[in-house]
Amino acid sequence: MLIKAQWFKELLREMSADAILELGIFNLSADKTKKTTTASNTTPKRTELEEEEEDLEDLSPLFWQPGKRGYYSPRPGKGSAERLSAFRNVGRVIGLCFIQNELIPLLLNRHVIKYILGRKISWHDLAFFDPVMYESLRQLILDAETKDGSLVFSALDLTFSVELSPEEGGEQVELIPGGSDIEVTASNVYDYVRRYAEYRMVDSAEKCLQQMKLGVFDVIPRGSLDGLSAEDFRLLLNGVGDISVQTLISYTSFNDESGEGGEKVQRFKRSFWAIVEKMTISERQDLVYFWTSSPALPASEEGFQPMPSITVRPADDNHLPTANTCISRLYIPLYSSRSLLRQKLLLAIKTKSFGFV
């Protein structure tokens, strides 16, 4: 992973700043995307209520959480040119994050990353998208291999169609022509599962996925992600969510401005790391966000620019710690006790006392 990350960074360094600016990536004008038409040449006139509902749907959030909390997939809405342009700009932001070595707090579902990378998306990726439905489909496959499989399927009354959630369009879609009249049986369940997974993950939002992919490669060279797996991509883009205290210790340096020196400062260091060690995962993420402006650690040491540091200020029990996130530096007074240090530190990371000091 570290070798791949270093290779990727070296490749991006070869791009000049002028080349990036010439891309016009901040042009927010809508792409000239043609809306798909129905098989009929004539479209019934819509009522004002229908038009209002469509407008509201197109103003809905760009992403939703289909399964595991905190992981997002594109929400297609009505697929207007403006909405698709927004997805392309999301892709451009992702590309800029790669170039600038910045982390982004947008955790994408695995199939979204694989689509951007051009990897094959399999039905097993549904486990990361909708784990409940994945388990149900897996059980269907197991049932098909039993002697009583035909009885199980006849009782289920399944057809080659899918009922989409409101975030996916809120309609019933046939997976094959006439699918609502074709029953799922033990002999065709594999085809059903494959088509179901493909439609839910890809087909229902493919225009959005395609625009995100185009946006990424508006900014970085095509082929620059070829050496990455979906896991590598996530580490480079989102960093390491689980904050390792030992890793943080190895990254951090101390500057003594307290005027005390010696044993008092050493005691302060021990107290600080003991407090961090006992923090919850959420508190550690808040601390790192307060300290560096990102709630996660980068995938490797090279991701910090500059490395995190702590400046120990003169003794002062009244003021809170502050941070300069531009240079990943904490400023902490030499408090009179460990309990006071803990109290002030937790208060600071909750109130987010940023500042140039």
User: How far apart, in whole angstroms, are the C-alpha atoms of residue 301 and residue 305?
Assistant: 9
Sign of CA dihedral 94, 95, 96, 100: positive
| Matching residue, tokens 């689980």 | 242
326 catalytic residue (yes or no): yes
Query: Token pair of 226, please?
Result: 């070829």
Alpha helices in the chain (DSSP H): 2-13, 17-21, 48-58, 81-100, 110-117, 126-129, 131-144, 149-156, 189-201, 206-219, 230-238, 245-251, 262-277, 281-292, 338-351
Helix (H, G, I), strand (E, B) or coil at 127: helix
Q: From the candidates 326, 327, 347, 357, which is the catalytic residue?
A: 326
CA nearest 176: which of 158, 161, 193?
161
Task: Please tell me whether the peptide bond between 306 and the residue prior to it is cis, using omega within 30 degrees of 0.
Answer: yes
Contact assessment for residue 221 and residue 11, using Cβ atoms and an 8 Å cutoff:
yes
Q: Which residues are catalytic?
A: 326
